[in-house]
Chain A
Amino acid sequence: MTTKLHDLSQLFTSGAAMWPRFAKDIQYGDSTFIGIHSTAWGDFNHPGWYDMGQGFPFNQGYCPMGAFKWWGHLHAGTHIDAPLYAIPGGTSADKLPLENFHGKGVIVDMRHKEKWDTITAEDFEKATPKIEEGDFVVVNTGWHHWFKPLGHGDKAYEYFHYYPGLVPSAAEWLIEKKVKAIAGTWPVCDHSLCFAIPKWMPWLVNDYKKETGKENPKEDIEGLGDWEECLIMLLKAGIACVQNAGGDIDDVTGKRMDFAAWPVNMEHADASMVRLVGIEE
Chain B
Amino acid sequence: MAKKYYDLSVPVGDFTPDWMGHQLMQDTCLQRVHRHEIPIEPGMSRQVSEYIGIWHKGTHFDGPTHHEEGSPTADQIPLDRFYGTGVIVDFRYMKKWDVVSVKDLENANPKIEEGDIVIMNTGWHHYWRKNDYIYYNHYPGLYTEAGEWLLEKKVRMMGGTWGATDHPLAHYPLRHMYHGLWDEYKKETGKDADKEFPDYEPCHQMFSSNGIPAFENVGGEIDEVTGMRCTIAAFPFRFADAGHMTRVVAIVDN
Contact = CB atoms under 8 A, between A and B. Distances in A.
Interface of A: 3, 5, 7, 9-14, 25-26, 36-44, 49, 51, 56-57, 62-75, 77-79, 84-86, 88, 94, 97-99, 102, 197, 199-200, 226-227, 247, 260-275, 277, 279
9 contacts: A66-B67, A73-B50, A85-B46, A102-B5, A265-B59, A270-B46, A271-B49, A273-B237, A274-B237
Contacts of B38: 200, 227
A263 B24 CA distance: 28
Contact of A70 (B14, B51, B176): B51
B247 A265 contact: yes
B77 to A, nearest CB: 11
Q: Which 5 A-B pairs have the closest CB atoms?
A: A267-B13, A275-B235, A273-B237, A98-B5, A68-B241
Interface residues of B, number: 72
B205 interface: yes
Nearest to B76: A11
Contacts of A71: 50-52
Contact of B53 (A62, A70, A265): A70
Interface stretch (B25-33, B93-101, B136-144, B181-189): B25-33
Contacts of A5: 79-80, 83
Contact of A3 (B30, B58, B84, B246): B84
A226 B205 contact: no
B88 interface: no
Contacts of A42: 24
Contacts of A266: 11-13, 30, 51, 58, 245
Given A13-B75, A40-B22, A247-B238, 4 more contacts: A40-B54, A42-B24, A68-B55, A264-B247
A77 B48 contact: no
B236 A275 contact: yes
A98 B225 CA distance: 15
A36 B242 contact: yes
